[in-house]
Homo-oligomer: A and B are copies of this chain.
Amino acid sequence: MKFEDFEEKTINRKEIFKGHIIDVKVDDVELPQGLGTAKRELIFHPGAVSMIPITADNKIILVRQFRKALEKVIYEIPAGKLEAGEKDHVKEAALRELEEETGYTSENIELIYEFYSAPGFCNEKIYLYYIDNLVKVENPRPQDDDEVLEVGQFTLEECKDLIASEEIADAKTIMAIQYWELNNKK
């Protein structure tokens, strides 16, 4: 089928909420193929960077933090949302987040995936980088002052245990660890 056979055209868009991180809109759409109309609840997000930072002794750096939406503390790969004006400087944004969250930097940074986190209702796009040859930054940029993070280094086997115990519990981190495993096997 062609794009036109799928496309839902917006008839009306209602702005529900304009936040600091997300905007919420509800569209009335005209369905394709004469199927009538429907409502779509939509979240707009500026996008984010995330990374697989691998140390010289083949461990991954993860950050542990509280997530209010879950009321849980979980381990994730380092990540952060894109700030205004960073859309054209995504790699620099990734290195900024890496430095803020872990105190490391690198010249060895490779984009491996761009993906949407929840395409059914949200346009958040996440850029995932693989980074090794890590170098300690002497006076790293500080962490955001409303974030409490604990940084740690883990082997692949330790990561698998954290997935089993649901201390690693989000899509981008599981994806990152699977990528690392597939890559290690090559």
A138 within 8 A of B: no
A84 within 8 A of B: no
Q: How far in angstroms is the closest Cβ of chain B from A113? A: 6
Interface majority SS (helix, strand, loop, mixed), chain A = mixed
Q: Which of B65, B68, B150, B171 contacts A40 (CB 8 A)?
A: B68
A148 within 8 A of B: yes
Chain A residues with CB under 8 Å of chain B are 1, 3, 5-8, 10, 16-17, 19-22, 24, 26-27, 29, 31-33, 35-36, 38-45, 48, 64-70, 73-74, 76, 79, 81, 113-124, 126, 145-146, 148, 150, 163, 166, 169-172, 174-175, 178-179, 181-182, 185
CA of A174 to CA of B171 in the docked complex: distance in angstroms? 10
The interface residues of chain B lying within 8 Å CB-to-CB of A35 are 145-146, 148
The interface residues of chain B lying within 8 Å CB-to-CB of A121 are 21-22, 45, 69
Q: How far in angstroms is the closest Cβ of chain B from A110? A: 15
Interface pairs (23), CB distance under 8 Å = A1-B64, A1-B148, A3-B73, A6-B66, A6-B148, A17-B24, A20-B39, A22-B41, A29-B68, A32-B148, A33-B148, A35-B146, A40-B68, A43-B43, A43-B69, A45-B121, A70-B116, A113-B174, A114-B169, A117-B117, A175-B178, A178-B179, A182-B182
